[in-house]
Amino acid sequence: MMKMYNAKYKEIYLELKTSDNYRINFRWMFSKSFEFEQRFSRDLFDFSADQLREFFLSRNFSKNTTAIFLSMIEDYVNWGISTNRTISKDSQFDKIDKESFIEDISKHQAKFLSNKQVEEISGAKIYGYKYAPLRNKQDQLMVYLAFLGVTGKGNHYLLNLKMSDVNEEELYIKVEDGSRKIHLNPFAINLIKEAHQERIYWKYMGENSNFRGHEYSELVESDYVFKKANSGGNPETPMGNGSLRKRLDAIRDHIGLEMSFNSLERSGMIFLAKVIYDRDGYLNAKNLKDLFDKYRVKDDMQSRSKQLQFVRREIPKVYKEYENENLGR
């Protein structure tokens, strides 16, 4: 159960919202502002600019996500003023330059994510990060598989993945027309099944999608795991890569982290290289061969040497406990 400060007031406000999507996002935000409202002994709509800054700095939001949630708070402040529930009759938003404020409170985004961040975003484990939960199993799966290197050129593996490609007993999927097997963990296999069972795709607040005014879209019935919207298209053809990328863009703004399919895949490379380093105590082209094969690095000296230097350089940036390790940089 999410805790909300002055829950009675907030429930009245939420009842005015006709959009389930807005209510879900507001509830999540109110649950995160609860500890600050308790500490300041005042409702969110009475926060000063400095208190708002402190609250946002506790998040890990990009500029886009900061702008979305700041707009939500402004709406709540205006409601509090209009219903005579606030201490002041003036909005703190009239006293700040929003553009500069957003620049000030947005976090500098790391280029790559840790395994713990990806596991929490995808629902594999909970570590206590401050990300808004994803609304669709298809989205959780998309992030997780990209991290595991299951993308392919132009996201071919994701777009063409079917349930008939999944071997639940031996924990692998077939790609490249069945000529290649990719072994996965039980969580990934189960998430594939859950994603395939979804019949509705929920949009995210602020998402610019053609949902015809609705908060969700029905999905086509097909053997494809990543299903396209049921808008009259051929269910026997896969979703387009552009549509898949739009989904990831919406996820990025929803949770406030910069990410792309490329950065997720390279984040997975960094993590697997870390695991190999933990096992062997060193990194070289020989003990990274399986990693290079898994992430489709060209089998030539120049390409693999470049990626070797990449993981040696990036491991200490993503996993701070390796800052003083000699990784052969």
Q: Encode pLDDT of 296-311 as tens digits.
A: 999 999 999 999 999 9
Task: Show the tokens assigned to 52.
Answer: 């708002």
- pLDDT for 213 equals 60
Kindly indicate the confidence band of residue 195, based on its pLDDT and cuts at 50, 70 and 90: very high
Count of residues making up the chain? 329
- Give residue for tokens 């939960």: 133
Task: Show the tokens assigned to 170.
Answer: 């031996």
Kindly indicate the confidence band of residue 177, based on its pLDDT and cuts at 50, 70 and 90: confident
Q: In this structure, what DSSP letter does residue 299 have?
A: S
pTM of the complete model beyond 0.85: no
Tens of pLDDT, residues 255-270: 888 889 999 999 999 9
Which contiguous run of DSSP H or E holds residue 88?
A: none
Question: How many other C-beta atoms are found inside a 10 Å radius of the C-beta of residue 24?
Answer: 19
Q: For residues 198 and 142, what is the distance between their CA atoms, to the nearest angstrom?
A: 14
Of residues 128 and 261, more confidently modeled:
261
